[in-house]
């Protein structure tokens, strides 16, 4: 579809140069692009001679959009529809059990934001959906059926929305009159509680949209499980590069690398009967992380909040521990719509940010 093609061209990859620098793809290596999107990172990896690239995306539209690129690189670009938390199984189907590098560029693409009918953007009127795969509960269903306190919990936990409670109250009041169907329904309520948009400031609905998107797609669980899967798949010397776009994601990635590189495990603080900490499974190759340059932000405002972190796999065994995740507790108070969508186990790290 030419319009879609246009949108693919409009997606400007964030931190591309830095991501490739840290990934350091080598000729003939096998790589995973865990978030194919518009294929910006994938193209750069394929530019290195004889690389073989497994490109994953949970959005069927992104995979469909990559067909032409796959045809241009016969046998070198393998497009895989699915979630990156599942990358081991997806690659095992192709008899691949170890790779030289994994890159994850989290969040949504400009194409997804631009397509009004996906409901990701508060700037475009469309159905309030936000499901990357079109499965499970839509954002509208969450707002129309969840208890007020559960909606507040989602807005606070995943949007870090300070005024989560009054916003949830207004959402429930509004749905009694008319259920939520479009993105603008939510924008209207957000503006009525949080105020009108002001020039140079984030739109008041930004946090509510982020919260619902993360919840509907279980994005934080995906990130944690994806990091663990990458750790198991990487060969010694292989690189993991992760670009995140908000503090909730970045905190998970940062803690993952801190735990895997042995930071914060000073031997002197260990009691004599405590077991030895596991050997580091990564070396931090981008200490403190990398941020986009001012020039990049000026050309591509979407890059503003991006942060890159990267590690090189050691030959130590993978560490099974899951990084702590902020999580909501839908259903634990006996309400909500159906089964608890987010596990209690994940609540472990809550409040420690
Ligand atoms: C920021 S875009 C990636 C852009 C890409 N690096 C490029 O240069 O075009 C993020 C993509 O990751 C996909 N995605 C998000 N979470 C995912 C997951 N858990 N598994 C697989 N794909 C995911 C989204 O559908 C989206 O297409």
Q: Which of 5, 17, 20 is nearest to 67 (CA)?
A: 5
- Measured over the CA atoms of residue 261, residue 266, residue 269 and residue 273, the dihedral's sign is positive
Residue 239, pLDDT score: 98
Q: How far is CA 331 from the centre of its chain?
A: 24
Which residue owns the Cα nearest ligand 1 atom 18? 83
Contact 137, 337 (CB under 8 A): yes
Q: For tokens 């009691």, what's the residue?
A: 271
Distance 93 CA to ligand 1 centre (A): 21
CATH number corresponding to 2-110+220-313? 3.40.50.150
Where are the CATH 3.40.50.150 domain residues in the chain?
Answer: 2-110+220-313
Contact 112, 10 (CB under 8 A): no
Superfamily for domain range 120-216+326-349 = Putative methyltransferase TM0872, insert domain (1.10.150.170)
Where are the CATH 1.10.150.170 domain residues in the chain?
Answer: 120-216+326-349
Residue 349, pLDDT score: 36
Across 130-152, average pLDDT: 96
144's tokens: 């129309």
* Residues above pLDDT 90, as percent of the chain: 78
At 345, is the secondary structure helix, strand, or coil?
helix
Q: How far apart are CA 110 and CA 89, in angstroms?
A: 28
Distance 286 CA to ligand 1 centre (A): 22
Ligand 1 closest atom vs CA 40: 8
Q: Does the Cβ of 37 fall within 6 Å of ligand 1?
A: yes
Q: What is the pLDDT of residues 228-271, one digit of tens each?
A: 999 999 999 999 999 999 999 999 999 999 999 998 665 556 67
Q: Which of 110-114, 129-133, 227-231 has the lowest mean pLDDT?
A: 110-114
Say which residues have a Cβ less than 8 Å from residue 343's Cβ, sequence separation at least 6. 221, 327
Distance 103 CA to ligand 1 centre (A): 10
* Residues above pLDDT 70, as percent of the chain: 89
Which residue owns the Cα nearest ligand 1 atom 12? 35
The pTM for the full model equals 0.90
Q: What is the pLDDT of residues 310-341, one digit of tens each?
A: 999 999 999 988 888 988 887 655 444 434 34
Q: What is the pLDDT of residues 149-178, one digit of tens each?
A: 999 999 999 999 999 999 999 999 999 999
Q: Does the Cβ of 13 fall within 6 Å of ligand 1?
A: yes
Q: For tokens 């993105």, what's the residue?
A: 183
Q: What is the chain's percent helix, strand, coil content, to nearest 5?
A: 45, 15, 45
Greater confidence, 350 or 142? 142
Which residue owns the Cα nearest ligand 1 atom 27? 37
Which residue owns the Cα nearest ligand 1 atom 8? 40
Compute and round to an integer the Cα radius of gyration of the chain: 21
Choosing from 35, 69, 134, 229 the residue with most ligand 1 atoms within 8 A of its CB, the one to mutate for a pocket test is 35
């Amino acid at each position: 579809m030419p319009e879609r093609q246009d949108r693919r061209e409009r997606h400007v990859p964030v931190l591309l140069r830095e991501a490739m620098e840290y990934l350091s793809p080598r000729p003939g290596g096998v790589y995973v692009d865990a978030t194919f999107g518009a294929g910006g990172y994938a193209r750069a990896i394929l530019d290195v001679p004889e690389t073989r690239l497994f490109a994953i995306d949970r959005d069927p539209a992104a995979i469909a959009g990559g067909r032409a690129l796959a045809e241009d690189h016969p046998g070198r670009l393998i497009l895989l529809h699915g979630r990156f938390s599942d990358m081991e199984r997806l690659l095992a189907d192709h008899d691949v059990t170890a790779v030289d590098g994994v890159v994850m560029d989290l969040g949504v693409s400009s194409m997804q934001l631009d397509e009004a009918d996906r409901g990701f953007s508060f700037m475009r009127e469309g159905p309030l959906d936000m499901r990357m795969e079109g499965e499970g509960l839509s954002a509208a269903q969450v707002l129309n059926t969840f208890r007020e306190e559960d909606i507040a919990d989602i807005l606070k936990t995943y949007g870090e929305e300070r005024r989560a409670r009054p916003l949830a109250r207004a959402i429930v009041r509004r749905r009694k009159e008319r259920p939520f169907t479009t993105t603008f329904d939510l924008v209207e309520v957000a503006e009525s509680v949080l105020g009108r948009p002001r020039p140079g400031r984030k739109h008041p609905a930004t946090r509510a949209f982020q919260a619902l998107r993360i919840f509907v797609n279980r994005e934080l669980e995906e990130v944690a499980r994806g990091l663990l899967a990458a750790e198991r798949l990487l060969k010694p010397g292989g690189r993991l590069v992760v670009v995140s776009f908000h503090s909730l994601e970045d905190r998970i990635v940062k803690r993952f690398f801190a735990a895997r590189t042995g930071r914060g495990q000073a031997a002197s603080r260990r009691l004599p009967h405590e077991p030895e900490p596991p050997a580091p499974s990564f070396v931090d190759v981008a200490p403190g992380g990398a941020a986009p340059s001012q020039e990049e932000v000026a050309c591509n405002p979407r890059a503003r909040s991006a942060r890159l972190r990267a590690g090189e796999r050691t030959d130590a065994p993978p560490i099974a521990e899951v990084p702590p995740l902020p999580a909501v507790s839908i259903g634990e108070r006996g309400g909500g719509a159906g089964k608890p969508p987010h596990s209690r186990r994940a609540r472990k790290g809550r409040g420690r940010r």
